[in-house]
Amino acid sequence: MPFLRIDDLDLYYEETGPWDGPPLVLMHGGSGSLDDAEAGWAALIPDFAKRYRVLALEHRGHGRTRNPAGRLGYDLLAADLRAFITGLDLGSVHFAGVSDGGITALHLALDNPELLRSMVCVGTNFRVDEAIRAFLRNAEPEAIERQFPEWASSLADRHDSHNEPGYWRELMRQIVAMASTTPAFTEDDLARIAVPALFVAGEADPFANTDQMIAFKRHVPSAEWLIINNAWHTVQHTHADVVRPRILDFLARHDNPGATHSG
């Protein structure tokens, strides 16, 4: 069970697939962990690992990766991702992220595009709107315990065992605080993304809603998209059979390790 030391952070990750394959870094969504199939990549990792050196992160504050900063921010997640890629000397990588993981990819694509061969963003938003804020009010720990007791129990199982009893409540407060105000990218920011990008969303996703997806397609020069009818936020799990071939095709078309990008 490897950890990578990044300043005062011990970042947990798991690796599978051929060591000499093209590197593919995966991030789960907010509140998830590597033990949470719905928020992560468990349904697709076996197929990814047939060709790629797959490195799946448990990002800051989640699961086995503690958060000495005491807050969450996409700036911190992007800095951790940058340090992970450079610390393991991976060169330029394929990257795929769910929700918060996809937002982290947007930061890296703007600030360090040379580290990315391509990026896949599932359920990703580039700005916050009122529909997102309304959804996040139900993600406050008190609302979760009142309305979604099974979710509360699963959050405790995934996160408290690696921290202290009740830690999941503080984690959710930090996630809600971060996601209620950020990201705050503009259309001009999107137009500066030169990394090949695939945006994937469910038709009923409250985060990667129609307006957000249209903006990605319209403003990101290299954008491709996949929108799945009658689907929600974590389509890489619920609709793995639809998402799998599209992602594998996208990655294969951008396997050239010399395809780095300047800002």
- Identify the CA nearest to 41 among candidates 250, 220, 248: 248
DSSP string over 187-243: HHHHHT--S-EEEEEETT-SSS-HHHHHHHHHHSTTEEEEEETT--S-HHHHTHHHH
User: pLDDT tens for residues 32-76?
Assistant: 999 999 999 999 999 999 999 999 999 999 999 999 999 999 999
Q: Are strands 23-27 and 93-98 parallel, antiparallel or unpaired?
A: parallel
The pTM (predicted TM-score) of the whole model is 0.95
Establish if 52 belongs to a structural domain.
yes
**Over the chain, what is the mean pLDDT?**
95
Cis peptide, bond prior to residue 183, ω within 30 of zero: yes
Amino acid at 40: G
Task: Please tell me the distance from the alpha carbon of residue 44 to that of residue 241, in angstroms, as a whole number.
Answer: 9
Asked if the structure places residue 257 within a domain, the reply is no
- For residue 19, tell me if it sits in a domain: yes
Q: Which of 49, 65, 57 is nearest to 85 (CA)?
A: 57
Alpha-carbon torsion angle 143, 231, 193, 9, nearest 10:
40
The answer to whether residue 173 sits within a structural domain is yes
What range defines the domain where residue 34 resides?
3-252
Res. 163: pLDDT tops 70: yes
In a domain, 260, yes or no: no
pLDDT at 261 over 80: no
Rounded CA gap, 177 and 182, in Å?
9
CATH code for position 157: 3.40.50.1820
pLDDT for 244-257, tens place per residue? 999 999 999 999 76
In a domain, 143, yes or no: yes
Is 16 part of a structural domain of the chain? yes
- Overall number of domains in the chain: 1
**Domain-embedded: residue 263:** no
Q: Are 197 and 121 in contact (CB under 8 A)?
A: yes
Q: Where residue 1 falls among pLDDT bands split at 50, 70, 90?
A: low
In the chain, the DSSP E strands lie at 3-6, 9-16, 23-27, 53-58, 93-98, 116-122, 197-202, 223-228
pLDDT band with cut points at 50, 70 and 90 for residue 262: very low
pLDDT at 228: 96
